[in-house]
Amino acid sequence: MEQFDAMERLSLILLALATACTLHAQEVDRALRKGNTDYKKGDLEGAIDAYSKAEKDERGMFNLGNAYYRQDSIADALRSYENAASMAKGAEAQARAYHNLGNSWMKQDKYQEAINAYKEALKRVPMDEDTRYNLAFAQKKLAQEQQQQKQKQKDNDKDKDQDKQDKQDKKEEQDKDQDQQDRDQKKNEEKQDEKKQEQKQQERIDPQDAKRMLEAAQQKEQDVQEKVREMMQPKPSKPTEKDW
């Protein structure tokens, strides 16, 4: 009798679990149907709310990512697709999650991350043409970005070299100006030295020489005055000669 009661209790527990699983599955299905309806109508907020109630199911998580992506909530879409990829049990479901994860990275111009996601998708479904195309496009965009970065770096280096040359030219011009200023200053100093030498030479004249020079100048002035007086005195007129 006791063994029967234990089996009965186990059966009841299993029945309860099955019933709970069934009810949960029904709730998930209802949430998915509600989310799909809102998504098709363009009611993204309603779709996100509905899918969030089914996010423990890989379908709900994947569709939640789609709703976020369409809403341009890319960070939330990335998180949802990553979770969907880890939750998915089949290769095709995982590939779909990685494909959309790559699309989300492309939205943010994260080309290397997108390439990695597309490659993960192709590992699951190698012949998926859409993923192969998106992978090629992402690789092309990455190559263009790298080329632009190289060109930008080259231009920056060129600008730095030009700035360096301009500074060098400016320094050389300043050095030339300074050299010219130094030469002009040296000439001025030499002239000043010459003037000082002349002044010193004049200061070195012997007092006796200076006296003789002064007396000579005075004597010369007296001689000139004497000649002037002589020229100013009237001369006697010459007698008139008679004819005999």
Q: Encode pLDDT of 100-127 as tens digits.
A: 999 999 999 999 999 999 999 999 999 9
C-alpha to C-alpha distance for 208 and 216, rounded to whole angstroms: 12
| pLDDT class of 8 with cuts at 50, 70, 90 | low
Whether residue 166 is contained in a domain is answered as no
- Reduced to 3 states (helix: H, G, I; strand: E, B; else coil), residue 205 is coil
Give the structural domain span for 139. 12-148
Whether residue 234 is contained in a domain is answered as no
CATH no. for residue 85?
1.25.40.10
Whether residue 236 is contained in a domain is answered as no
- Per the structure, the count of domains in the chain is 1
**Residue 35 half-sphere exposure, CB side, CA atoms within 13 Å?**
25
3-state secondary structure 146-203: HHHHHHHHHHHHHHHHHHHHHHHHHHHHHHHHHHHHHHHHHHHHHHHHHHHHHHHHHH
Rounded to the nearest integer, the mean pLDDT of the chain is 83
Q: Encode pLDDT of 171-188 as tens digits.
A: 888 888 888 888 888 888
C-alpha to C-alpha distance for 185 and 180, rounded to whole angstroms: 8
C-alpha to C-alpha distance for 30 and 190, rounded to whole angstroms: 106
Whether residue 163 is contained in a domain is answered as no
Which tokens in the block code for residue 104? 């989300």
Whether residue 71 is contained in a domain is answered as yes
At 116 the pLDDT is: 98
At 24 the pLDDT is: 56
Which tokens in the block code for residue 169? 């030219």
Whether residue 179 is contained in a domain is answered as no
pTM > 0.75: yes or no = no
Whether residue 52 is contained in a domain is answered as yes
Whether residue 196 is contained in a domain is answered as no
